[in-house]
Chain A
């Protein structure tokens, strides 16, 4: 039986998730190396649009499943569908982007298909029949190499870790419907945070810590808006109740790897550094020249953030205009 490479991605009203596109692109590279076909399973709303969005990423066949609604969760139904698909089509390697839905679907698929799984992979190595992946552990303090042993081998890719690149593929498209299987979980409603950039997929993150001094994050938010960044926070800012826990960067929050990370009024505790150490460029703004964050930052500005941030916002606006 042919052993395809399969990327599984969800589509929201805002389009395909970046992590999903990374999974497709990595799938293309693996398929090329193993001389196999790359198939893509798209779940979610408006799968017609997915066809356009996936164009140029090198899929050989795109399967659009429109009646499983990722926006209504249904990760269990999608996993059951995917397990059947894998058995029917013959699939040896499956890639997901590590969104909340992607993780949930991937784990259920691993159990249902009897395969193996590695979560939050930042790189994947293929040597003949072996798949090894590197994944951050201890909140990013260490990197562990793992080898998946059972097919289908499922690798869930951490956002911002793989290159999205143009590639050629056969580009066939087929629309399919999933047999009626009911989700074990009932969807009540979605509460999207409008206008915000998703922290884990953002190219730039501006984070505030204890130095911000209170729940008024206006300066951080203005800088974020000017630079097209997502807003993050340190554990102290979250524990003080200044920011929601979903903004927390660190070992008990989110692990981020943007191109640029700007830490404002954050001292740099070990557990925070763990969550942002894989960022591209790190900038620290802190009035304490001894703050540990400076020993991990590419650029440091010693100064009062209330004075630095408005100037920084202004300068960035000038460039963007």
Chain B
């Protein structure tokens, strides 16, 4: 089973977001960077499948030189090799373009299975994985929380609104993975040492596509970015007993706010 895992590097979820003076981008110089949490589930699942069935895991990412750190993390978790399609500013490409570029790279490698996090916790686009499957014209199974491979097909339990759905596909197939699929391992010290020696190929856009000039926010332009309206501290409801506090709370919710 040859597996490709799509990985992105994102600011840690505990990060407080700062916005540039021109109000058009998020400042990322001072934040702590991590592998996108959803991609960790993808790498972990790939390692488990490879260990059970053999084959090779390639991690593919598109982004600045810094994104090599996320690839190295994946290699330290057990992946075999990495490819970074290096662009200086990943924000200069829209998500559909990124998916199309990733698909052109993937077409050059033999693969059976592609795993991707269901979304990146920075752009919250929820679309690159599925779009890659569509560009490659292969089946895509979204929000996978459980998978079983048997008889040359893969059966997946997927999250859906109001429950779960079980879907089955032949290979090659792309899965976007959801929290709950597994418990990602921490990279061990020997793993980290070994990862340094594993192959990580850096490619440019023109190595991957014959038409690099066609990419660059051709479909979606970014405008401003601003902080979500900050919620202010309201009122702590006082009262002699809990019962008094609760009555007052319910009165406010019912009469004043009209939400109950």
A141 & B17 in contact (Cβ 8 Å cutoff): yes
* Interface flag for A92 (CB, 8 Å): no
A103 & B127 in contact (Cβ 8 Å cutoff): yes
Give the docked Cα–Cα distance between A67 and B88 (Å): 47
- The interface residues of chain B, by DSSP majority, are classed as mixed
* Interface flag for A178 (CB, 8 Å): no
Q: Give chain A residues whose Cβ lies under 8 Å from the Cβ of B179.
A: 238, 245, 248, 252-253
Q: Which of A104, A188, A198, A255 has the most CB of B within 10 A?
A: A104
Interface residues of A in 47-90 (CB under 8 A from B): 73, 76, 79
Q: Give chain B residues whose Cβ lies under 8 Å from the Cβ of A270.
A: 13-16
Interface residues of B in 45-71 (CB under 8 A from A): none
Q: Give chain B residues whose Cβ lies under 8 Å from the Cβ of A108.
A: 130-131, 134, 140
Residue of A nearest to B222 (CB): A146
A308 & B242 in contact (Cβ 8 Å cutoff): yes
Closest-CB distance, B215 to chain A (whole angstroms): 13
* Interface flag for A6 (CB, 8 Å): no
* Interface flag for B89 (CB, 8 Å): no
Given contacts A119-B126, A138-B124, contact A189 B166 (CB under 8 A): yes
- The interface residues of chain A, by DSSP majority, are classed as mixed
A301 & B245 in contact (Cβ 8 Å cutoff): yes
Closest-CB distance, B15 to chain A (whole angstroms): 8
Interface residues of A in 21-50 (CB under 8 A from B): none
* Interface flag for B75 (CB, 8 Å): no
Interface residues of B in 214-229 (CB under 8 A from A): 217-229
Give the docked Cα–Cα distance between A240 and B165 (Å): 25
Residue of A nearest to B257 (CB): A281
Interface residues of A in 234-283 (CB under 8 A from B): 238, 244-246, 248, 250-253, 255, 259-260, 269-271, 273-274, 277-278, 280-283
A297 & B234 in contact (Cβ 8 Å cutoff): yes
Q: Give chain B residues whose Cβ lies under 8 Å from the Cβ of A280.
A: 257, 259
The 6 closest A-B pairs by CB, nearest first: A145-B223, A184-B139, A245-B180, A298-B234, A116-B219, A192-B163
* Other A-B pairs beyond A100-B160, A142-B17, A144-B225, 20, CB < 8 Å: A104-B142, A118-B220, A137-B225, A138-B17, A138-B124, A139-B121, A139-B124, A141-B17, A143-B225, A146-B220, A149-B217, A185-B167, A185-B168, A191-B164, A193-B163, A246-B180, A259-B259, A295-B233, A296-B233, A307-B242
8 A–B pairs (Cβ distance < 8 Å), ordered by A: A116-B220, A117-B220, A138-B122, A146-B220, A184-B169, A191-B163, A298-B231, A300-B234
A interface residue numbers (CB < 8 A to B): 12, 14, 17, 73, 76, 79, 99-101, 103-104, 107-108, 110-112, 115-120, 132, 135-150, 184-193, 196, 198, 200-201, 204, 227, 238, 244-246, 248, 250-253, 255, 259-260, 269-271, 273-274, 277-278, 280-283, 289, 294-304, 307-308, 311-312, 315-316, 319
